[in-house]
Copies of this chain bind each other. A is one copy, B any other.
Amino acid sequence: MSHDQTAVREVLEKARAEGRTALTAPEGKKICDAYGIATPGEGVAASAEEAARLAEEIGFPVVLKVVSPDILHKTEAGGVLVGVATAAAARAGYDQVMASALAYNPEAVIDGIQVQRMLGGGQEVIIGAVTDPTFGKVVAFGLGGVLVEVLRDVTFRITPLSGDDALGMLDDIRAAEVLRGVRGAEAVAREPLADMIQRVSALVDDFPEITEIDLNPVFADARGATAADVRVLLAAGPVVEPARLGRDEILSSMNRIFKPRSVAVIGASAEDGKIGNSVMRNLINGGYRGNIYPINPKATEILGLPAYPSITAVPGDVDVAVFAIPAKFVPAALEEAGAKGAAGAIMIPSGFAETGNVAGQQELVEIARRHGIRMLGPNIYGYYYTPENLCATFCTPYDVRGSVALTSQSGGIGMAILGFSRTTKMGVSAIVGVGNKADVDEDDLLTFFEQDDNTRCVAMHLEDLKDGRGFVEVARRVVKTKPVIVLKAGRTAMGARAASSHTGALAGDDKVYDDILRQAGVVRAPGLNEMLEYARALPLLPTPKGENVVIITAAGGSGVLLSDACVDNGLTLMDIPPDLDQAFRAYIPPFGAAGNPIDITGGEPPTTYENTIRLGMSDPRIHALILGYWHTIVTPPMVFAELAARVVGECRAAGHDKPVVVSLAGDTEVEAACEYLFDHGIVAYPYTTEKPVAVLGAKYQWARASGSMGG
């Protein structure tokens, strides 16, 4: 791709020099030419005669458009005339357009009338880019007309785009079939469209001052794509990229914060009910083995540990300072913690931005930055890191070690994480409150969890991203090895945003988050409970090696619902080859159904479950199993649970590993059976056919995004 940056710079500088934030159509065309974006033949006429001559050169029909920096909405001004078919019409048209434009705005400086080849036929599409407040440059693609405007059938990607990203956009709209040719229309050539998307991406990346660009409509057909109209908007002021710390810099702080040799509790208290007391108790009762330094000017000893009047009085080094004092005392204490060389400030206190005290929060940020101390919060419950028995929080200790790290922007959601974890015995490496995110945010935490051997899966509740581009960058790296689950709250609260382009108007909702999180390989949980269930289950499920999912069920009714759920979750029911079908048939009653779901029928003894599960586990053509259990006297719930755990365990030991999820239909004993199965590394749920399949679907979503599925 050859890009003439000099030509673009010239156009932009001229506009800037003239104080304009919108380019004229000929300027837009120059930019397109410079970046190899095809536009129709055209020229600018300074007289009716010249218009007629240009039209004859370009070929009829043509469109006439007024060119004026003072007229942005040309159609409204009567400054557009379409379907001009003869030289005489072009001549007359010139005068007409000129008159209308001047009638609309008598003060307008008119540079001439643009004569442009009129396009038509093929498929109308729209390609654009905007500057998203979260993600920066974002490219949009959709079908033109009603589809994009009424059904908002549009897809977004963060720049820069790979060729696959761009091609993927063509398939990612709901009406993608239209591009492949419907109702006798020929298919649209994919490469030129994808190429144009990439060129737009390159253009806005090279020139950050281009805040919005609309190619609308673009006419695409079997031969190529041509942008019939281009609209370019520029930033009024300078464009600033958010500052980002380097990975090493982040890690050197984060490793000290998550694996501290010492923790000081500023505001430690011996008095029950105080936050400074809860934090002390949780550190001690949680079994933290580093040094704990209670800081309290009014005490000499707290909960059996010597207390210090200030953090600077602590004899040894301090890695982490947990703040449990009122907001007004925080700045001075933070200065001291910084001076002491602490790596992290765990800022539990509230009373900052969330109550309107934005200046107070900014003050903390500046103190922290000055001292190079990283701050978590303010307005948080603290954090847990189980590998270090670290419960630096005012909640209650949590000790079920495991491999999932969870973070939450909201304290309430943090408490829900804690309660859910405890009741399901979810194995956790970390639970972290990020609160107001004045400093440390999800990007920092992901950077730590990426290289943390104790963490194999990350789940994050968030309402916004401070630096979406930074998040995408690190998430893309992390998902190669570990699933990242995101519950993005506030899906519907983006509200109105001033938008002066089509793309801008389309970008004003949650679809941008949705598309870009997916592009980053993140698994987006639809709700809180799903986030928690995915977090619990994903680390237990091995990565599938391919798309072939098989359902083995004793209840035909469950089989139908499990199949529905497979479709809902984008899973592929394997087309079972005849030899495998025969093999399954050997184990099931003659009126059972092989195929997929494999219906082993109700009332079968344990051996039927055992044989079919073993076959399902052993055959390498099957990549994942969904089991449907039906409670009967012949095979009671715990008998099933024990045999399933044993068979899966034996197969895993023999090297046949694949994800297994189970739906149990039965009386209340199935609940204990589910617990037993979970304890044995098998994901199992009672009274639901949807949840086990949703969890498997989430695993597949990650496996595909990570590129770890092979195939």
A178 cross-chain contacts in B, Cβ below 8 A: 146, 150
Quick one: given A354-B591, A412-B602, A602-B412, are A688 and B182 in contact (CB under 8 Å)?
A: no
B interface footprint on A553-585 (CB within 8 Å = 1, 0 otherwise): 111111011011101000000000000000000
Query: Which of B418, B422, B489, B532 touches A557 (beta carbons < 8 Å)?
Result: B489
Residue of chain B at shortest CB distance from A411: B602
Q: Tell yes or no: A174 within 8 A of B by CB.
A: yes
B interface footprint on A159-184 (CB within 8 Å = 1, 0 otherwise): 00000000000000011011000110
B interface footprint on A396-433 (CB within 8 Å = 1, 0 otherwise): 10000000000011111101101110110000000000
Quick one: given A175-B151, A665-B415, are A557 and B689 in contact (CB under 8 Å)?
A: no
Residue of chain B at shortest CB distance from A557: B410
Q: CB within 8 Å of B: which of A666-694?
A: 666-671, 686-691
A630 cross-chain contacts in B, Cβ below 8 A: 411-412, 415
Size of the A side of the interface (Cβ < 8 Å), in residues, is: 77
The segment from A36-44, A303-311, A490-498, A619-627 that touches chain B is A490-498
Give the interface of A toward B (CB within 8 A). 145-147, 149-151, 174-175, 177-178, 182-183, 273, 350, 354-356, 395-396, 408-413, 415-416, 418-420, 422-423, 461, 463, 487, 489-493, 526-529, 532, 553-558, 560-561, 563-565, 567, 591, 602-603, 628, 630-631, 633, 665-671, 686-691
CA separation between A151 and B691, bound complex, in Å? 28
CA separation between A358 and B529, bound complex, in Å? 44
Identify the 8 closest CB pairs spanning chains A and B, nearest first.
A410-B557, A412-B555, A355-B591, A527-B690, A416-B665, A529-B688, A412-B665, A412-B630
A489 cross-chain contacts in B, Cβ below 8 A: 557, 560-561, 564
B555 touches A667 (CB 8 A): no
Query: Which of B175, B410, B631 touches A555 (beta carbons < 8 Å)?
Result: B410
CA separation between A145 and B177, bound complex, in Å? 13
Quick one: given A182-B150, A396-B667, A668-B419, are A493 and B560 in contact (CB under 8 Å)?
A: yes
A423 touches B668 (CB 8 A): yes
CA separation between A493 and B567, bound complex, in Å? 10
A555 cross-chain contacts in B, Cβ below 8 A: 410-413, 415
Quick one: given A146-B175, A396-B667, A419-B667, are A463 and B560 in contact (CB under 8 Å)?
A: yes
Quick one: given A493-B563, A529-B687, A687-B532, are A416 and B149 in contact (CB under 8 Å)?
A: no
A145 cross-chain contacts in B, Cβ below 8 A: 183
Show 30 A/B contacts (Cβ-Cβ < 8 Å), sorted by A. Answer: A145-B183, A146-B183, A149-B182, A149-B183, A150-B182, A354-B556, A356-B591, A408-B557, A411-B630, A412-B554, A412-B555, A412-B557, A412-B558, A412-B628, A415-B631, A415-B665, A419-B665, A419-B668, A461-B557, A489-B557, A489-B560, A491-B564, A492-B564, A492-B567, A493-B564, A527-B561, A527-B565, A527-B689, A528-B687, A529-B687
CA separation between A564 and B490, bound complex, in Å? 6
B687 touches A420 (CB 8 A): yes
A561 touches B419 (CB 8 A): no
A146 cross-chain contacts in B, Cβ below 8 A: 147, 175, 178, 182-183
A422 touches B668 (CB 8 A): yes
CA separation between A627 and B666, bound complex, in Å? 32
Known: A150-B175, A410-B560, A420-B687. 18 other contacts (CB 8 A): A145-B183, A150-B177, A150-B178, A151-B151, A350-B603, A409-B557, A410-B555, A411-B602, A412-B556, A412-B665, A416-B665, A419-B631, A461-B557, A489-B564, A526-B690, A527-B565, A528-B690, A529-B688
Q: Tell me, rounded to whole Å, the shortest Cβ–Cβ distance linking A650 to chain B.
A: 27
